[in-house]
Homo-oligomer: A and B are copies of this chain.
Amino acid sequence: MDKINLVELGPRDGLQNEKLPLPVETKVALINRLVDAGFKTIEAGAFVSPKKVPQMANSGEVLAKINRPKGVSFPVLAPNIQGYEAAKESGADTIAVFASASETFSQRNINCSIEESMSRFKAVIDAAKKDGIRSRGYISNVLGCPYEGKVSTSTVIELTNKLLEMGCYEISLCDTIGVGTPLKARKLIRDVKSEIPVEKIAGHFHDTYGQALANSFIWLEEGVRTFDSSVSGLGGCPFAEGASGNLATEDLVYGLEGSGLDTSVNLEQLIEISRWISGELNKQPASHVTAALQSR
């Protein structure tokens, strides 16, 4: 049975985009419960400006307090060398850097050009290598940008190659605004695969227009075996109030396990976590699976 690697983003990409900041204890409980449900990679926090991203201000404390069993990694965002040093001091085992395939988005999101961001990432990844810390890369807007519209596939491939050369073990290609459609997504991964081993690629689809699961399965068919998602669809969409954000992990697990693939995740436990954390955030779970089973 094919094994699928799930990267659970709820505690970081998810909570970072929720209005209600959660206390450390709730975040720790969330991560511990996700570990118990079987996830092997759980994004645990971000070492970024606490002024800009107050939801992630206590990431060091979270890292210090969670259970960290062998075989489970807890990537944290570290976009620059200061963030990296803080992540290292907090005992991070894996850091993540995030580039954008769109120049305008890079300027507006991290206030520097793509090129400048890449040289910052090189410093971070070099330092991590020396410290025996692994690096994961994200490239955002691979299927479209909220400011520029179309994004060049050659830029996506170039950035992916550069981040791999710098030492990232895997690059997550992100449809940040969810505008990708299945056949566009297929065209992209086929182009990427022609230059980069598919084992190095993770799929990261947002469900803004309901396409995320369909796109994930198209990539699965093209050989991608790693997917990012967020329990309960945590996070929403920062570009459109009320719109869906990250693909809900429950819906992904339902589709994969129901297709006979092995995610290592216990769906029943995951649904319990989804109900609980959405209650903590005072909202409904953005997952079809959890909504359907909740009503029973």
A184 at the binding interface (Cβ < 8 Å): yes
What CA separation (Å) do A257 and B184 show in the bound complex? 11
Q: Which residue of B lies closest to A218 (CB)?
A: B217
Residues of chain B within 8 A of A237, CB atoms compared:
292
Q: Is there an interface contact between A292 and B243, defined as CB atoms closer than 8 Å?
A: yes
- The proximity string for A residues 200-233 relative to B, scoring 1 for CB distances below 8 Å and 0 otherwise, is 0000000111110110111000000000000000
Nearest CB on B from A290, distance (A): 10
Copies of this protein, total: 2
Chain B residues with CB under 8 Å of A296's CB are 240
Tell whether A23 is near chain B: CB-to-CB under 8 Å.
no
| Residues 240-274 of A at the B interface (beta carbon under 8 Å) | 240-244, 248, 251, 254-261
State which size class the interface on A falls in. 35 or more
Question: What is the CA–CA distance of A182 and B254 in the complex, to the nearest angstrom?
Answer: 10
Q: Is A107 close to B, CB under 8 A?
A: no
- For chain A residues 18-66, which have a beta carbon within 8 Å of chain B? none
Asked whether, in the complex, the Cβ of A184 is within 8 Å of the Cβ of B258, the reply is: yes
In the bound complex, do residue A210 and residue B254 qualify as a contact, i.e. CB atoms below 8 Å apart?
Answer: yes
Residue A291 is within 8 A (CB to CB) of chain B in the complex: yes
A282 within 8 A of B: no
CA distance A255 to B217 in the complex (A): 14
What is the bound-complex CA distance between A254 and B254, given in angstroms? 23
A242 touching B210, Cβ below 8 Å: no
Question: Are A259 and B183 also in contact (CB < 8 A) when A217-B214, A217-B217 are?
Answer: yes
**A240: contacting residue among B216, B217, B259, B295, CB under 8 A:** B295
- A184 to B165: give the CA distance in the assembly, Å: 39
Which B residue sits closest to A233, measured CB to CB? Answer: B210
Given contacts A243-B295, A244-B292, contact A260 B183 (CB under 8 A): yes
| Known contacts A182-B217, A214-B214; A292/B259 CB under 8 A | no
Interface residues of A (CB under 8 A from B): 178-184, 207-211, 213-214, 216-218, 237, 240-244, 248, 251, 254-261, 287-289, 291-296
